[in-house]
Amino acid sequence: MSTTALSPEELTKLIADLNRLAHNIWWTWNQGAQEIFQDLSPRCWQNLYHNAVAVLHEVSDYELRVRLQDQEFARRVRQVLHDFEAYMSDQESWGRQNAPELIHNPVAYFSAEFGFHETLPIAAGGLGILAGDHAKSASDLDIGFIGISLFYREGYFQQQINQDNWQVEYYTLLNPQNLPLEPVLDAKGLPLVCAVEIELTDVYFQVWRVNVGRRAVYLLDADRPENPPHLRDLTRRVYGGDNTMRIMQEVLLGIGGVRLLRALGVQPSVFHMNEGHAAFLTLELMREKLAAGISLSEAMAKTKAQCIFTTHTPVEAGHDRFSRDLIGYAMRKIATQLKLSLDDLMGLGRIDPKNDAESFCMTVLGLKLSRAANAVSELHGQVSRQMWRALWPDKPVDQVPIGHITNGIHLTGWMKGPVRKYWQRKLFSASTPSSPSGGETTAFWRSTPSMPLEKEFNSTAFWQKMADPGFISDEELWALRYKLRRELIEFARRRLGLRQFQSDFIAYDLLLDPDALTIGFARRFATYKRAPLVFDQFENMVKLIKDRRRPVQFIFAGKAHPRDDDGKRFIQRIVHLSKYSDLKSHLVFIENYDIHVARQMVSGCDVWLNNPRRPLEASGTSGQKAGCHGCLNLSILDGWWREGFDGTNGFAIGADNHPSSIEEQDLQDSANLFRALTEHVLPAFFNRDEHGIPRQWLQMVRRAMVTLVPQYNTWRMVQEYTKKYYLSKA
């Protein structure tokens, strides 16, 4: 026995490595790593919302040492650590081959929100999720990349639905010690502190680093004792407070972010603004040049050559605008440093610099001071060129310099853990048929030690195999669909059962039907997304749902912005229908939509419903998360789906056009939605052969995997950004 026991030194090393692992969110897209933290304390894992750092705090050093003497457990830990090391040190990366110059002079990617994982709720929606996925893929591809954002002490709000079915928001304080965050220290080992000027005050900030695989995202935090209380609260909430709070947060992000990079000694080759929130970074880049004695016009030209801008929405409210008074108040000192009068400063954020009626628009600033700009889908590109054409008055609209790169998702991060393992097993057993069974990470890595999983999952060739019944049979695919649907239903039952006051109405263990066609809708409750559209055909819907031979059910989730009462009314209507109408027991609303809820839903649903008012859904990404789980999209031809849909890989609502009147559009779309459901979706799902298998449905599932998964991921997306924008100096 004593020969196999680990020495105290070996234990100390393993524990240190485990801590390092917990502080790198690589574990959020590695199933083996998650299982280790889960096994250490299953209850903490669940109660602390899958937080590896918190689990390690819960388990004593003594217990860890004892547990690691379990040889099988220690073997798994070593394997995961080995996988992690192999990932971190891989030299044959796409980035090294295709963008070596970015390694030393990285892309600095500024975003007001980053969605990484459910334990770090500092994203409000799709924009932040996309930023997180961008960072993860930059790490996988190994391109030079540094993310900049804010650390919000209270994150984005948590949602509860009260007895009136009304959304109430509450906030919980995040503890950085219990999160995958590391304080950024100066040479003396003390917190690195920088400052920005807001109004006439110096606002100090410290910084937290999120290790995202091989890359880092830095979060600025104004909660410093040097600051007066109202400024310590500056980074309390995602988009918290009023416009004054907003502009101050954006000064901190943009100007503070550049100062941080300088303090870290980083010289980015390109600054990528993820939407207008970050656009003040251009002013700091100009200030630096002015301070070096460069003329204003040259400083502007040089700044422009360093920056690129991505616009994310045609919705007017998504473009920050500040009044002259507010700019004058918040930017007083900065304007002086720039040697700009308030009017000249205002001009940078106006389409017509001389037009006093125009407020200061962050998108305009971003567009004016970028060498290139892009939208996030083809249609959104068209819409954006139209929307911003006044900035290029001498160009015809189709030559307005706003291109597009269609969004994607970080596939291995979004794939549900067991599914990732399942495909991995498939991948492995298919490539080496005589290999030992088990097919876990272990065997996979032994066979191809320097081949990170994402390179394989990134390959069109792997997903192409989904068309082959010899690779995966209909029966097996259907079994996977059943397993995922059941997992979602049990998740929903558990979540809904936690809500005491509703228990008078429903026995939760009987809620939802594991055999039913399960239709999911989960996203922000912005009104243009029209969450309740499907219930506009209420009588028809009730009839449809009453057909016992063809059970159908709906699962909804989503948050409305705290100040969006119309969005809250949508929630209220749906929750009400779920409790009191004939749809009861066929419709549920899950509270507190976040990354975890999203993952359960996109994997467990059979159909992913998306019915925005076209063309307002710039891209949308939740539907992209569905494909690898075999969930089919049923969507308006807007955003990414207009490009993804090919007639065989899911369902379209309506055609590739839309009427100009909103009333007309809503009427048409709800009729088209109902028609698509009854004429296409239900017949395909319930058409079973003598073995009970829906062959036609599964054929579509295969087509969705073959055509969508290799295309709508952020590996493809970040490669496009790199080739089109990061490397080319326009």
Ligand X SMILES: *Cc1c(COP(=O)(O)O)cnc(C)c1O
Q: Name the token pair of 664.
A: 């007309």
**Contact window for ligand X (CB under 6 A) among 28-36, 171-179, 317-325, 616-624:** 616-624
The residue from 32, 126, 413, 694 that contacts ligand X (CB under 6 A) is 126
The residue from 211, 622, 670, 713 that contacts ligand X (CB under 6 A) is 622
Give the Cα separation of 640 and 712 in Å (integer): 8
Residue found by looking up tokens 């045609």 in the block: 314
Q: Give the residue with the Cβ less far from ligand X, 370 or 635.
A: 635
Among 593, 589, 607, residue whose Cα is nearest residue 481: 607
Contact map string, positions 78 to 117, toward ligand X, x by CB under 6 A: ----------------------------------------
Give the Cα separation of 50 and 126 in Å (integer): 21
Q: Give the residue with the Cβ less far from ligand X, 115 or 366.
A: 115
**Contact window for ligand X (CB under 6 A) among 20-28, 229-237, 496-504, 593-601:** 593-601
Closest distance to ligand X from the beta carbon of 115 (Å) = 6
Q: Which helix (H) or strand (E) holds 31?
A: helix 31-40
Q: Give the residue with the Cβ less far from ligand X, 592 or 699.
A: 592
Which residues share a beta bridge with 270? 107
**Contact window for ligand X (CB under 6 A) among 143-151, 341-349, 473-481, 591-599:** 591-599
How many residues sit in the footprint of ligand X (CB under 6 A)?
Answer: 12
Residue found by looking up tokens 């779309």 in the block: 669
Q: Name the token pair of 36.
A: 């280790």
Within 515-534, which residues bind ligand X (CB under 6 A)?
523
Closest distance to ligand X from the beta carbon of 617 (Å) = 7
Q: Give the residue with the Cβ less far from ligand X, 214 or 312.
A: 312
Give the Cα separation of 362 and 414 in Å (integer): 31
Closest distance to ligand X from the beta carbon of 192 (Å) = 31
Closest distance to ligand X from the beta carbon of 523 (Å) = 3
Q: Give the residue with the Cβ less far from ligand X, 99 or 598.
A: 598
Q: Give the residue with the Cβ less far from ligand X, 84 or 593.
A: 593
CA angle 449, 454, 455 (to 5 degrees): 70
Helix axis angle, 126-141 to 714-721, nearest 10°: 80
Close Cβ partners of 246 (under 8 Å, ≥ 6 residues apart): 239, 320, 322
Which residues share a beta bridge with 308? 272, 372
Closest distance to ligand X from the beta carbon of 377 (Å) = 11
Residue 433: other Cβ atoms inside 10 A = 7
Q: Could you tell me the sign of the dihedral formed by the alpha carbons of 71, 73, 77, 79, in that order?
A: positive
- Helix, strand, or coil here: 74? helix
The residue from 594, 606, 669, 720 that contacts ligand X (CB under 6 A) is 594
What φ, ψ does residue 378 adopt, rounded to 5°? -65, -50
Q: Give the residue with the Cβ less far from ligand X, 465 or 568.
A: 568
- Cα dihedral value 413, 418, 420, 423, nearest 10: -160
Q: Give the residue with the Cβ less far from ligand X, 271 or 593.
A: 593
- Strand order of the β-sheet with 651-653 is 587-590, 552-557, 517-522, 607-610, 632-636, 651-653
Q: Give the residue with the Cβ less far from ligand X, 427 or 601.
A: 601
Give the Cα separation of 80 and 21 in Å (integer): 9
Closest distance to ligand X from the beta carbon of 381 (Å) = 17
Contact between 600 and ligand X per CB under 6 A: no
Residue found by looking up tokens 């030079």 in the block: 144
Within 127-146, which residues bind ligand X (CB under 6 A)?
129
The residue from 621, 711, 714, 719 that contacts ligand X (CB under 6 A) is 621
Closest distance to ligand X from the beta carbon of 549 (Å) = 32
Q: Which helix (H) or strand (E) holds 270?
A: strand 270-274
**Contact window for ligand X (CB under 6 A) among 232-240, 356-364, 460-468, 620-628:** 620-628
CA angle 337, 283, 240 (to 5 degrees): 105
**Contact window for ligand X (CB under 6 A) among 294-302, 546-554, 583-591, 592-600:** 592-600
Closest distance to ligand X from the beta carbon of 406 (Å) = 12
- Helix, strand, or coil here: 477? helix
Q: Give the residue with the Cβ less far from ligand X, 18 or 590.
A: 590
**Contact window for ligand X (CB under 6 A) among 206-214, 439-447, 566-574, 615-623:** 615-623
The residue from 347, 620, 630, 710 that contacts ligand X (CB under 6 A) is 620
Among 313, 305, 278, residue whose Cα is nearest residue 110: 278
**Contact window for ligand X (CB under 6 A) among 149-157, 339-347, 358-366, 614-622:** 614-622
Close Cβ partners of 320 (under 8 Å, ≥ 6 residues apart): 246, 247, 250, 276, 277, 361, 362, 363
Give the Cα separation of 543 and 536 in Å (integer): 13
**Contact window for ligand X (CB under 6 A) among 122-130, 149-157, 327-335, 573-581:** 122-130
**Contact window for ligand X (CB under 6 A) among 138-146, 151-159, 485-493, 588-596:** 588-596
The residue from 150, 595, 626, 717 that contacts ligand X (CB under 6 A) is 595
Q: Give the residue with the Cβ less far from ligand X, 126 or 240.
A: 126
Contact between 125 and ligand X per CB under 6 A: yes
Give the Cα separation of 654 and 415 in Å (integer): 29
Closest distance to ligand X from the beta carbon of 593 (Å) = 6
Closest distance to ligand X from the beta carbon of 318 (Å) = 12
Contact between 598 and ligand X per CB under 6 A: yes
Within 623-642, which residues bind ligand X (CB under 6 A)?
625
Residue found by looking up tokens 């493809």 in the block: 716
Residue 81: other Cβ atoms inside 10 A = 19
Closest distance to ligand X from the beta carbon of 210 (Å) = 17
430 within 8 A of 471, measured Cβ to Cβ? yes
Q: Which residues bind ligand X (CB under 6 A)?
A: 125-126, 129, 523, 593-595, 598, 620-622, 625
